[in-house]
């Protein structure tokens, strides 16, 4: 329910008055956004590292229904080869092969190298244990999907989705200007997200999250019986596995960009808003926040 600017000013902590050069504090993030945001943070942490554990059980990705042994349909592979000066970790992406000793294919101490896809520092558990990786992965997968459903229902009811997230025509028109502003690390803090933010968040919530959930389900032989269209949609189980991995890579890239933007835009203010909901706007901003 929208409030007048007067009531907002009265509800903010006293410190506001001591910093007249800043804008006012507004209530920006609902409890639903904050709870689901942090649930996803925890889930994606465990899903990523248990997922790399699962990947390591067969560190090759293919295109198609099956995994070629008698023929080659691999698009990404990590492995070790015997080189003249000892074993070497290699990674092949399509036709290109790279020496990735120490990171992919072979990692660990030089005197006790481990032959594995991703290194022990980024897998849960640190040692090779597919069974445990799966236990962790599926627990957090359920939690992740549950949080997404909770968020979707809450965002539809509160209007968050329509009001704050879906890009408007004006957002798209402002896009070049917004990109230029981001490139110069110039951020304007107000209640609404800017065009790039909306596109990034919508991309994650409506493209990457569904992609990674559906490709995950496509790998389930039982789900293939229930929803055979999943296999058609993703061009086979092994392609789905590859896209699941690609979705992970894109989510990691989003994470890196997200953190850089938070740091650049003012980490204290940004963190406060996603923890408490309260956000300090730029001075020129007209107060348009509302209380829960």
Partner 1 sequence: MSRTLLTRRRLLGFGAAGASSIVLGGCDQFDFLGDTDNSVRAFLARANDLTYRAQRLLIREGALAPEYSESEIRQGQRPNGSRDPNTPEYLALKAKDFADYRLAVTGLVEQPRSYSLSELRNMPSRTQITRHDCVEGWSCIAKWTGTPLSRILDEVKLKPTARFLAFHCFDRLDGNALYYESCDLIDARHPQTLLAYGLNGQALPVANGAPIRVRIERALGYKQAKYVHTIEAVDSFSRFGQGKGGYWEDRGYDWYAGI
The least distance separating partner 1 from the CB of residue 28, rounded to whole angstroms, comes to 17
Residue closer to partner 1, measured from CB, 3 or 130: 130
Considering Cα of 103, then 109, then 110, then 111, what sign does the dihedral take? negative
Residue closer to partner 1, measured from CB, 174 or 202: 174
* Spatial contact of 227 and 213, defined as CB atoms under 8 Å apart: no
The least distance separating partner 1 from the CB of residue 287, rounded to whole angstroms, comes to 16
Q: Whose structure tokens read 């835009």?
A: 265
**CA distances (Å), 261 to each of 93, 179, 248, in order?**
30, 12, 20
The least distance separating partner 1 from the CB of residue 63, rounded to whole angstroms, comes to 12
Residue closer to partner 1, measured from CB, 38 or 127: 127
The least distance separating partner 1 from the CB of residue 250, rounded to whole angstroms, comes to 17
Residue closer to partner 1, measured from CB, 158 or 285: 285
Name the site residues for partner 1 (rule: CB under 8 A).
Answer: 49, 54-55, 57-58, 60, 62, 65-71, 120-127, 129-132, 134-136, 138-139, 141-142, 181, 185-189, 217, 219-226, 228, 231, 237-238, 241, 256, 259-260, 263-267, 282-284
Q: What does the alpha-carbon distance between residue 283 and residue 190 come to, in Å, rounded to a whole number?
A: 9
Largest CA distance in the chain: 76
Residue 120 DSSP one-character state? G
Residue closer to partner 1, measured from CB, 128 or 158: 128
The least distance separating partner 1 from the CB of residue 206, rounded to whole angstroms, comes to 23
The least distance separating partner 1 from the CB of residue 67, rounded to whole angstroms, comes to 4
The least distance separating partner 1 from the CB of residue 3, rounded to whole angstroms, comes to 25
Residue closer to partner 1, measured from CB, 90 or 237: 237
* Spatial contact of 104 and 117, defined as CB atoms under 8 Å apart: yes
Residue closer to partner 1, measured from CB, 32 or 234: 234
């Amino acid at each position: 329910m929208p409030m007048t600017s007067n009531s907002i000013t009265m509800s903010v902590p006293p410190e506001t008055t001591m910093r007249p050069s800043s804008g006012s504090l507004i209530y920006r993030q609902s409890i639903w956004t904050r709870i689901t945001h942090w649930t996803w943070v925890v889930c994606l942490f465990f899903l990523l590292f248990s997922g790399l554990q699962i990947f390591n059980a067969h560190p090759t990705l293919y295109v198609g229904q099956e995994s070629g042994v008698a023929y080659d349909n691999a698009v990404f592979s990590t492995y070790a080869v015997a080189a003249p000066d000892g074993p070497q970790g290699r990674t092949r992406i399509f036709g290109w092969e790279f020496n990735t000793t120490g990171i992919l294919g072979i990692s660990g101490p030089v005197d006790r190298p481990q032959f594995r896809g991703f290194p022990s520092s980024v897998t849960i558990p640190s040692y090779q244990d597919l069974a445990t990786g799966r236990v962790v992965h599926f627990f957090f997968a359920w939690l992740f999907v549950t949080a997404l459903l909770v968020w979707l229902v809450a965002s539809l009811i509160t209007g968050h989705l329509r009001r704050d997230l879906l890009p408007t025509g004006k957002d798209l028109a402002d896009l070049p200007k917004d990109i230029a502003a981001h490139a110069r690390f110039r951020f304007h803090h107000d209640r609404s997200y800017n065009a790039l933010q909306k596109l990034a968040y919508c991309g994650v919530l409506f493209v990457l999250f569904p992609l990674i959930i559906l490709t995950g389900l496509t790998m389930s032989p039982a789900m293939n019986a229930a929803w055979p269209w999943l296999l058609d949609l993703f061009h086979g189980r092994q392609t789905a596995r590859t896209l699941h991995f690609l979705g992970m890579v894109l989510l990691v890239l989003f994470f890196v960009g997200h953190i850089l933007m938070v740091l650049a835009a003012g980490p204290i203010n940004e963190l406060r808003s996603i923890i408490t909901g309260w956000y300090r706007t730029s001075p020129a901003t007209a107060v348009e926040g509302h209380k829960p």
